[in-house]
C-alpha cells in the first residue's frame, strides 16, 4: 500500500520569502501525486497534480512541485509567499490500481508580516 510522509508539521515564513514544503512517498510503481491546500474551516482545494510527463508541475496560486523518482519526493514550492498562503497543505499519493488516496499528516504554514 502507498503512504506519504510530510516531515514538517509547521513552517513559519515571512511574506515575500520563498516556501518549500517537503513530501516523501512510498509506492512501488509510478504514483499519482497531488498537493491540496486547506484554509481554516474550509474543504481541500487542489493545487496541482502529477501522473506522468514533465517532472516539474505548475499549479494554481503560483505554486509548483517537482517529482523526483530517485528521492521518492514531490516537494511543493512558491517563490514569493503572500499572507493569503497561510493554510494547511496536504500531499497525497494515489496508486495506479485503485482510486484510493493516502494523505500525509499535513504541514501548517504561517506567514508573518
Partner 1 sequence: NAGVTQTPKFQVLKTGQSMTLQCAQDMNHEYMSWYRQDPGMGLRLIHYSVGAGITDQGEVPNGYNVSRSTTEDFPLRLLSAAPSQTSVYFCASKPQGRNQPQHFGDGTRLSIL
Site of interaction with partner 1 (CB under 8 A): 4, 6, 9, 32, 34, 36, 41-46, 49, 51-52, 90, 94, 96, 99-101, 103-106
Residue (17 or 60) nearer to partner 1, CB: 60
What's the half-sphere exposure (Cβ side, CA atoms, 13 Å) at 74?
31
Residue (32 or 73) nearer to partner 1, CB: 32
Q: Cβ 16 to partner 1, closest distance in Å?
A: 29
Q: Exposure string (b/e) for 22-56, b if CB count within 10 Å is 16 or more?
A: bbbbebeeebbbbbbbeeeeeebeebbbbeeeeee
Residue (15 or 88) nearer to partner 1, CB: 88
Q: Cβ 36 to partner 1, closest distance in Å?
A: 8
Write the CA distances from 100 to 34, 37, 47, integer angstroms. Answer: 12, 18, 18
Amino acid at each position: 500500500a502507498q503512504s506519504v510522509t510530510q516531515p514538517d508539521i509547521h513552517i513559519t515564513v515571512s511574506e515575500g520569502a520563498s516556501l518549500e514544503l517537503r513530501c516523501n512517498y512510498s509506492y512501488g510503481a509510478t504514483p499519482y501525486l497531488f498537493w491540496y491546500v486547506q484554509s481554516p474551516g474550509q474543504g481541500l482545494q487542489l493545487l496541482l497534480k502529477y501522473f506522468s510527463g514533465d517532472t516539474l508541475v505548475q499549479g494554481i496560486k503560483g505554486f509548483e512541485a517537482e517529482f523526483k523518482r530517485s528521492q521518492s519526493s514531490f516537494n511543493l514550492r512558491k517563490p514569493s509567499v503572500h499572507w493569503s498562503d497561510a493554510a494547511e497543505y496536504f500531499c497525497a499519493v494515489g496508486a495506479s490500481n485503485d482510486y484510493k488516496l493516502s494523505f500525509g499528516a499535513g504541514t501548517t504554514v504561517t506567514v508573518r508580516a
